[in-house]
Structure 1
């Protein structure tokens, strides 16, 4: 089973706790020996599920949307990003240089094309910019990739 991740990054501490639990519950039913998580390993849900997968003994593959992708992530996340990138069994590159919305969508499209199921940490609202979670969910659905939406009841970003 190959599972991809997309999700909102602007989550407060309470929402983080709930989302982490939802992610753990979602992966709990999967056989870790046959599981590969595909992630762009951005801060928050992308990294959380990658860490969960590795902790369970699953494989991690990383999609890198652009050569300068890491530079656009929060500085506090760089050590986590670097560790996860080192622990990944494979890397996939879009070939783009600048880390912009188009590169992020290209990375998400590459990710969706490699998975059996997409987990979306999504509040159900439209994307705030091109390549946002709603756009990735729509792309997956167009391709017929099953989408599991995880969002705590009554939570708001």
Structure 2
């Protein structure tokens, strides 16, 4: 019997609709049970990852950066998917913060970093200099010795901000 892999995710929030489908197809080819997918359940890459984890028969662990995260930080158009995935999660961990902020997000990222066997980064490779961005998390994971698998399918793009 194969050991259960713990796979975390980081990635862009602003994937174009065609990119969502490219990433979904890519992750369906990559992810195989037994696995636990660990995600903060942000819109974009995290949500696609969570849906694929469940679709392939994996277990979902959600790491929320703070209390009330869903009520304060989830956009109304994303709320139905967020709530459905939260309900489907085998485990929900809430970081010990009352409000969202840099420390809360960094704590959630550290949890993923220190509890996973692999980090999947749905990332175009562009560094923004943003301390909490995907590029920064990838660099932190690599510095800690966590294997990182960068996924950016041909034709993928981000929505302009």
Q: Name the TM-score, length of structure 1 as normaliser.
A: 0.89
SS in 2 for 1:42: coil
Contact 1:101–1:129 (Cα < 8 Å) also in 2? no
RMSD: 1.6
Deviations 1:28-58 (A, max 9, x none): xx2x2x2110011111211111111112221
Give the unaligned 5+ runs of structure 2.
none
Q: CA deviation at 1:24?
A: 1.5
- Alpha-carbon separation, structure 2, partners of 1:56 and 1:36: 11
SS in 2 for 1:106: helix
Contact 2:66–2:97 (Cα < 8 Å) also in 1? yes
How many corresponding residue pairs? 153
- Higher fraction of helix: 1
Partner of 1:8: 12
Partner of 2:45: 45
Within the candidate set 22, 25, 29, 1:21 is matched to 25
Q: CA deviation at 1:154?
A: 5.9
Partner of 1:64: 64
- Alpha-carbon separation, structure 2, partners of 1:127 and 1:96: 26
Partner of 1:89: 90
Give the unaligned 5+ runs of structure 1.
none
Q: How does 1:7-156 map to 2 (within 5 A)?
A: 7-27=11-31, 30=32, 32=33, 34-70=34-70, 71-127=72-128, 129-153=130-154, 155-156=156-157
- Alpha-carbon separation, structure 1, partners of 2:39 and 2:128: 19
SS in 1 for 2:77: helix
Q: CA deviation at 1:93?
A: 2.1
